[in-house]
């Protein structure tokens, strides 16, 4: 990273804080696309109280993410209040240590456990859907992903039911939107934040997490859940690596609640693409028919479903659940791609525009899962839906397993037809994934002969 220089150019970009805010709120991807088309790969814009910069180039994105000391992750202080002391909000050396701890439990056995959970849940849920004529599919995926995540994080014998997890997730989303909005201070006071119901959700979810921790500590052996591994982890001197039980609690709660929106978004968008591109749907169904031959999905099948995996990648490319990486903020004056980045500037790495750019992809805006079957396809540096080292998503494989297991179970038995042919609406700019119930009608494949 070069030092600030007299020769660096000022950031190009639009004026008008309010206009920028309104356009970004209306459609964040469209807003960013417009900035890139009009001003180039590094663009400056202002929001009320914030000087911002958007980056649309994968090499410059890498520079920013790798230079964590210049551009650490920036989050509004209220997020700490919501999420506590967790990996996602940690920085520097603290982040490195915390990440090592969390990823140390992701060994081969944990991965197999994740696959077993996803296959079992997906088979059970889609069997139930055979009796339905219509579904609110995003909400169904919400229950599926939450149930798998709770099994993985807290364990299959946890006392936290899926519905409580979903309620806690909804509460976290509402708090993030209200606190992250320009009216955050006022909205934070609205009564629903503190009704007896929301207090009960918070209390019962926290109780379930604490119970998993104390059961893990009193058990003779580690059970195959992340909470158990993390609660029993030891530092090199045999002591607990957690500074307090509260810290351990926050990490576990965040693993359960901080992530489901990304896989939920990917699955919901895939249902849209499968309906819009019947030739792709036919290929997924043919692959599942060939590999499963009519029997129930098993863990061993997942690796063989290569076209379904290609569907996952292409969905993440054109509909990334995190259209921007977590914002970073310049700690001092810096230069990026020849442009001056004043200290305090909030930097957005825009994944959505990078992944649909003709500079990096052939037939960039076409939905073509086949591109992922070509040799070296996985090496395109402009594919960054899981972020970049050193903060790249440690659960990318789990996200893929959740997706492939569910799409395979759907493809084997059902066709889901979204009532609207529009792309699902993206979540509010402070959140991940998509929003709305997304109604679909359910056709049974065997009814078509
Ligand atoms: C389709 C699925 C997923 C996508 C697209 C996705 C995307 C991302 C992205 C873009 C980041 C990097 C954020 C940044 O540095 O700005 C990230 C980080 C993270 N993700 Fe995921 N994610 C997915 C699934 C999951 C799941 C299932 C979990 C946990 C159960 C999870 C847990 C995390 C955590 C803990 C981090 C923070 C890593 C760190 O700071 O070192 N993600 N994810």
Q: What is the pLDDT of residue 218?
A: 86
Residue 3 lies in a domain: no
Q: What tokens appear for 252 in the block?
A: 């576990």
Strands in 205-333 per DSSP E: 328-329
pLDDT one-digit tens code per residue, 167-202:
999 988 888 877 665 444 444 445 445 677 888 888
Spatial CA neighbour of 445 closest among 269, 289, 304:
289
Q: What is the pLDDT of residue 407?
A: 98
Residue 4 lies in a domain: no
**From atom 20 of ligand 1, which residue's Cα is the shortest distance away?**
393
Q: What is the pLDDT of residue 137?
A: 98
Spatial CA neighbour of 138 closest among 411, 412, 433:
433
Tell me the C-alpha to C-alpha distance, in Å, between residue 52 and each of 24, 139, 297, 318, 439: 12, 34, 47, 24, 36
Strands 50-55 and 42-47: antiparallel
Spatial CA neighbour of 313 closest among 392, 403, 391, 389:
403
Residue 371 lies in a domain: yes
Residue 218 lies in a domain: yes
CATH code, domain with 185: 1.10.630.10
Position in ligand 1 atom list of the atom nearest CA 384: 10
Q: What is the pLDDT of residue 197?
A: 81
**From atom 37 of ligand 1, which residue's Cα is the shortest distance away?**
88
Whether residue 141 is predicted with pLDDT greater than 70 in this model: the reply is: yes
- Percent of the residues in the chain that have a pLDDT greater than 90, as a whole number: 75
Residue 254 lies in a domain: yes
pLDDT one-digit tens code per residue, 221-247:
777 799 999 999 988 888 889 999 999
Mean pLDDT across the chain: 91
CA distance 282 to 254: 38
Query: In this structure, are residues 64 and 349 in contact, taking their beta carbons and an 8 Å threshold?
Result: yes
Separation of 397 CA from ligand 1 center, angstroms? 11
CA distance 131 to 125: 11
CA distance 70 to 88: 18
Separation of 400 CA from ligand 1 center, angstroms? 12
Q: Which residues line ligand 1 (CB under 6 A)?
A: 87-88, 99, 149, 255, 259, 262-263, 266, 316, 321-322, 325-326, 385-387, 391, 393-395, 398-399
Whether residue 220 is predicted with pLDDT greater than 80 in this model: the reply is: no
How many helices (H) and strands (E) the chain has is answered by 17, 9
Half-sphere exposure in the Cβ direction for 448 (13 Å, CA): 8
394: containing domain: 17-448
Q: What is the pLDDT of residue 184?
A: 47
CA distance 207 to 252: 12
Q: What tokens appear for 369 in the block?
A: 């899962």
> Average pLDDT, stretch 132-156?
96
Residue 6 lies in a domain: no
Residue 11 lies in a domain: no
Separation of 392 CA from ligand 1 center, angstroms? 7
Domain total in the chain: 1
Strand-pair partners of 306? none
pLDDT one-digit tens code per residue, 52-105:
999 999 999 999 999 999 999 988 777 777 788 899 999 999 999 999 999 998
Top mutation candidate among 145, 395, 396, 434 for ligand 1, by most atoms within 8 Å of CB: 395
∠123-127-132 over CA atoms, to 5°? 140
pLDDT one-digit tens code per residue, 95-118:
999 999 999 989 889 999 999 999
Separation of 224 CA from ligand 1 center, angstroms? 21
Separation of 262 CA from ligand 1 center, angstroms? 8
Q: What is the pLDDT of residue 187?
A: 45
Residue 330 lies in a domain: yes
Spatial CA neighbour of 360 closest among 423, 317, 304, 313:
317
Tell me the C-alpha to C-alpha distance, in Å, between residue 250 and each of 81, 88, 163, 231, 413: 11, 11, 20, 12, 40
Position in ligand 1 atom list of the atom nearest CA 98: 41
Q: What is the pLDDT of residue 432?
A: 87
Separation of 351 CA from ligand 1 center, angstroms? 14
Strands 339-341 and 334-336: antiparallel
């Amino acid at each position: 990273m070069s030092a600030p220089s007299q020769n660096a150019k000022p950031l190009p970009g639009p004026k008008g804080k309010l206009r920028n805010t309104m356009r970004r709120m209306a459609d964040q991807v469209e807003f960013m696309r417009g900035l890139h088309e009009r001003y180039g790969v590094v663009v400056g814009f202002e929001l009320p109280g914030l000087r911002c910069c958007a980056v649309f180039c994968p090499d410059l994105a890498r520079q920013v993410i790798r230079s964590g000391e210049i551009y650490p992750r920036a989050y509004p202080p209220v997020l700490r209040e919501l999420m506590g002391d967790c990996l996602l909000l940690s920085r520097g050396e603290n982040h490195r240590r915390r990440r090592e701890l969390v990823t140390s439990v992701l060994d081969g056995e944990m991965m197999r456990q994740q696959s077993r959970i996803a296959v079992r849940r997906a088979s059970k849920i889609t069997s139930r859907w055979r009796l339905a004529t219509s579904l609110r599919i995003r909400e169904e995926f919400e229950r599926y992903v939450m149930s798998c995540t709770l099994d993985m994080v807290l364990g299959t014998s946890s006392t936290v039911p899926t519905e409580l997890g979903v309620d806690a997730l909804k509460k976290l989303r509402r708090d993030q939107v209200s606190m992250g909005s320009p009216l955050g201070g006022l909205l934070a006071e609205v009564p629903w934040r503190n009704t007896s119901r929301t207090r009960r959700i918070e209390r019962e979810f926290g109780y379930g997490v604490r119970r998993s921790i104390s059961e893990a500590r009193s058990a003779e052996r580690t059970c195959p859940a992340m909470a158990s591994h993390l609660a029993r982890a030891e530092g090199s001197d045999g002591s607990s690596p957690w500074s307090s039980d509260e810290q351990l609690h926050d990490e576990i709660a965040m693993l359960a609640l901080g992530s489901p929106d990304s896989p939920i978004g990917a699955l919901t968008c895939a249902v849209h693409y499968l309906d819009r591109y019947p030739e792709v749907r036919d290929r997924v169904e043919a692959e599942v028919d060939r590999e499963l031959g009519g029997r129930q999905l098993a863990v061993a099948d997942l690796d063989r479903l290569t076209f379904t995996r290609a569907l996952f990648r292409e969905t993440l490319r054109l509909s990334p659940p995190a259209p921007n990486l977590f914002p970073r903020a310049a700690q001092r004056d810096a230069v990026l791609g020849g442009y001056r980045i004043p200290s305090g500037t909030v930097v957005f790495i825009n994944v959505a525009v990078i992944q649909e750019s003709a500079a990096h992809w052939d037939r960039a805006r076409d939905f073509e899962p086949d591109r992922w079957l070509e040799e070296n396809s996985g090496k395109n540096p402009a594919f960054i839906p899981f972020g970049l080292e050193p903060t790249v998503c440690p659960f990318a494989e789990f996200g893929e397993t959740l997706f492939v297991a569910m799409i395979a179970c759907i493809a084997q038995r059902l066709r889901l037809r979204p009532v609207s042919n529009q792309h699902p609406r993206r979540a509010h700019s402070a959140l991940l994934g998509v929003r709305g119930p997304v109604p679909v009608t359910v056709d049974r494949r065997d009814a078509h002969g």
